[in-house]
DNA sequence: TTACATAGTGTTATAATATAACAATTTAAA
DNA sequence: TTTAAATTGTTATATTATAACACTATGTAA
């Protein structure tokens, strides 16, 4: 539930790698980078990724099949995520906007349904690429 | 730009199938269903899907790798999409909310950046599954 | 009409992403 | 300490998506 829990060996290795990376990392690129540390099979990577996503240490960028570390302390453990994605340089940034998360968390559809979770991906050109 | 343009043979076959479906369809399930109509290879499916997405006749549900027909005449040609997804029955519905699309289309991040496109996926339980 | 450009098709092969199944080991509680 | 839950290791396989190349249809403009 919180992000303080201890990670297992593989989880820690993979989290450290993603956390250091300046860009979202793909599963097989992660695999490549941790083979020298003894993680040899895709499944070992995917299992760690699943857990890290579940506890909110990382997020999956669905449109890119890639993973980034969460740097947003207020993000509700992977339950409410928003990202900006540059269509040229592919830079991905987690958006941390109280008003946006408030708006979406409270959003009700036509039937009055409220949602327990959302993922939002914005696309455009980043500062550098404009 | 508009949705009125003529579709090619393969595009029409694949659009008709997705449009008739009550749920999002996956590429290889589509392939399976159109083989009797002469579409034999994955690439034929993916090319049609790419085009249909581009012109806004269908949308890709990124978290599911599946495709649904657009039934939202006001949706800005795949540039601004929102869906609700039931986590039990997997039912997916395109959300058509003027206030939501207005809010997101006008959303500016901390640096004042406005985005040209977004995709939002809400998760929860649908009416039936609650 | 002809020439040209653009979009679409068919095909084979292969790349990239992700999970199934099973056995063993470690860790955390009761 | 015993038991349950989580994690690991491993092999094999399933699923999703693209590369490369040759050919065909369609629209447009001289
Ligand atoms: Zn986060
Ligand atoms: Zn950029
Ligand atoms: Zn739509
Ligand atoms: Zn449901």
pLDDT tens per residue, range A3-57: 456 999 999 999 999 999 999 999 999 999 999 999 999 999 999 999 999 999 9
Checking each nucleotide's C1' against the CA of A65, the nearest proves to be C17
Which pTM value belongs to this model?
0.93
Report residue A74's pLDDT band, with 50, 70 and 90 as the boundaries: low
Q: Are A82 and A120 in contact (CB under 8 A)?
A: yes
- For residue A127, pLDDT beyond 70: yes
Per residue in A113-123, pLDDT tens?
889 999 999 99
pLDDT of A2:
42
> If DSSP codes are grouped into helix, strand and coil, which group holds residue A4?
coil
Question: What are the DSSP calls for B3-64, one per residue?
Answer: S-SPPPHHHHHHHHHHHH-SS-B-HHHHHHHHGGGT--SHHHHHHHHHHHHHTTSEEEETTT
Measured CA to CA, the distance from residue A31 to residue A49 in angstroms comes to 11
Between β-strands B66-69 and A92-94, what pairing exists: parallel, antiparallel or unpaired? Answer: unpaired
Q: Which residues contact B76 (CB under 8 A, 6 or more apart)?
A: B56, B101, B105
Neighbour-count burial of A44, counting CB atoms closer than 10 A to its CB (0-12 exposed, 13-18 middle, 19+ buried): middle
B89 reaches A (C-beta below 8 A): no
Query: How close, in Å, is residue A2 to chain B by CA atoms?
Result: 21
Block residue for tokens 């993979």: A14
Q: Which of A119, A126, A127, A128 to mutate to test the interface with B (most CBs of B within 10 A)?
A: A119
- Nearest residue of A to residue B111, measured between CA atoms: A127
What are the structural domains of chain A?
9-69 (1.10.10.10), 80-129 (3.30.1490.190)
Per-residue pLDDT of chain B (130 residues), as tens digits, is 334 568 999 999 999 999 999 999 999 999 999 999 999 999 999 999 999 999 999 999 999 999 999 988 656 566 899 999 999 889 999 999 999 999 999 999 988 888 999 999 999 999 888 8
């Amino acid at each position: 539930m919180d992000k303080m829990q201890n990670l297992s060996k593989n989880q820690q290795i993979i989290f450290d790698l993603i956390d250091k990376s300046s860009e979202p990392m793909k599963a097989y690129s992660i695999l490549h980078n941790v083979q020298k540390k003894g993680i040899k099979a895709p499944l070992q990577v995917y299992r760690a990724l699943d857990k890290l996503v579940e506890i909110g240490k990382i997020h999956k960028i669905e449109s890119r099949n890639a993973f980034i570390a969460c740097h947003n302390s207020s993000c509700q453990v992977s339950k409410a995520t928003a990202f900006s994605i540059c269509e040229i340089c592919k830079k991905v940034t987690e958006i941390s906007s109280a008003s946006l998360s408030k708006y979406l968390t409270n959003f009700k559809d036509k039937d009055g349904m409220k949602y327990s979770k959302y993922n939002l991906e914005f696309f455009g050109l980043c500062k550098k690429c404009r």
